[in-house]
């Protein structure tokens, strides 16, 4: 048997990101967020070794330390639980780093899915949701993907059928450290809460396929992100000038303009592609894989 699996690990966007409190015991923020998979992806290849060593190689970037990333963390967690051999992991980066698109979480989710394909982890007593949350708070969503309301520390997932056609233009600013953004948020919101959008309303409109859903986007980390990367505010206003409903994803630096009118979307992208605009479409899943 050739124990190698190759996967596509898709990015995500936050249609909403409310911060509802803090879990002081674990030092983490509680979220109420609507996440959607989009069609930009990393390619992750996982090959089993004959020894216990875990190697991670990145192609397309030198910004990610080989032993300080979610791909390594995911593989090591599985190895610690089931006592399997090590792996050679190759990550071909296409998801922009520091964009808030969940590239690191996508890589970790892809490794977990690959090892599930190889070992059938639930049959060995592994709780995939719990393991994914250990790897990272966005990883449980990325493991399945699609469209979901994600609450708590990322462990509570409520999947939604995507009935709304969304056309999306993204503009990248300087990356923002997620840790720095949350620290600044805590300085600005002493009660550790900020809910700029009505997630119940957003979810109901998405379920109905109602175009008004894009009027209910919001991100509690917008102000902290702009503090570190003022270009985010400029990109927000630029996208709005073309009629987009705008929302930051994650802690930035990607700002996304959403359209339900394909002609308005096309005009915006045509005007902005010269300044690095990218287009995104919803993806139905978080990870696609095939055995090699």
CA dihedral sign, ordered 206, 201, 98, 43: negative
- 3-state DSSP percent of the chain in helix, strand and coil, to 5: 35, 30, 35
Instruction: Name the nearest CA neighbour of 201 among 30, 19, 34, 12.
Output: 34
250: left (phi over 0), alpha (psi -120 to 50) or beta: left
Q: Given the structure tokens 């593989």, which residue do they identify?
A: 75
List the catalytic residue out of 12, 73, 93, 184: 12
Active site residue 198: no
Active site residue 191: no
CA distance 141 to 158: 10
- The secondary structure of 122-181, three-state, reads HHHCCCHHHHHHHHCCCHHHHHHCCEEEEEECCCEEEECCCCCCCEEEEEECCCCCHHHH
Name the 3-class secondary structure at 63: coil
Instruction: Name the nearest CA neighbour of 221 among 176, 172, 257, 174.
Output: 176
List the catalytic residue out of 42, 107, 116, 138: 138
- 31 strand-pairing partners: 19, 152
Name the 3-class secondary structure at 65: coil
CA distance 178 to 14: 14
Mind telling me the catalytic residues?
A: 12, 138
């Amino acid at each position: 048997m050739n124990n190698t699996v190759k996967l596509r690990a898709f990015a995500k966007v936050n249609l909403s990101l409310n911060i509802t409190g803090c879990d002081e015991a674990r030092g983490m923020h509680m979220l109420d967020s609507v996440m959607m998979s989009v069609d930009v992806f990393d390619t992750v290849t996982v090959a089993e070794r004959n020894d216990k060593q875990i190697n991670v190689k990145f192609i397309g970037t030198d910004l990610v330390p080989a032993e300080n990333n979610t791909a390594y963390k995911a593989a090591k967690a599985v190895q610690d639980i089931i006592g399997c051999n090590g792996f050679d992991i190759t990550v071909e980066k296409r998801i922009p780093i520091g964009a808030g698109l969940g590239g690191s979480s996508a890589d970790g989710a892809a490794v977990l899915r690959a090892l599930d394909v190889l070992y059938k982890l639930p049959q060995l007593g592994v709780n995939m949701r719990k393991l994914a949350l250990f790897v990272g708070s966005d990883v449980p969503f990325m493991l399945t993907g699609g469209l979901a309301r994600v609450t708590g520390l990322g462990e509570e997932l409520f999947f939604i059928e995507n009935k709304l056609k969304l056309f999306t233009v993204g503009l990248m600013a300087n990356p923002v450290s997620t840790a720095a953004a949350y620290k600044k948020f805590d300085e600005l919101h002493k009660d550790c809460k900020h809910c700029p959008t009505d997630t119940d309303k957003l979810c109901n409109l998405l379920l109905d396929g109602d175009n008004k859903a894009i009027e209910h986007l919001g991100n509690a980390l917008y102000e902290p992100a702009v503090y570190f990367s003022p270009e985010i505010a400029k990109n927000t206003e630029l996208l709005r000038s073309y009629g987009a409903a705008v929302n930051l994803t994650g802690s930035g630096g990607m700002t996304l303009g959403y359209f339900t009118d394909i002609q308005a979307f096309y005009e915006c992208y045509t005007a902005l592609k010269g300044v690095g605009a990218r287009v995104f479409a919803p993806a139905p899943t978080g990870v696609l894989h095939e055995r090699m």
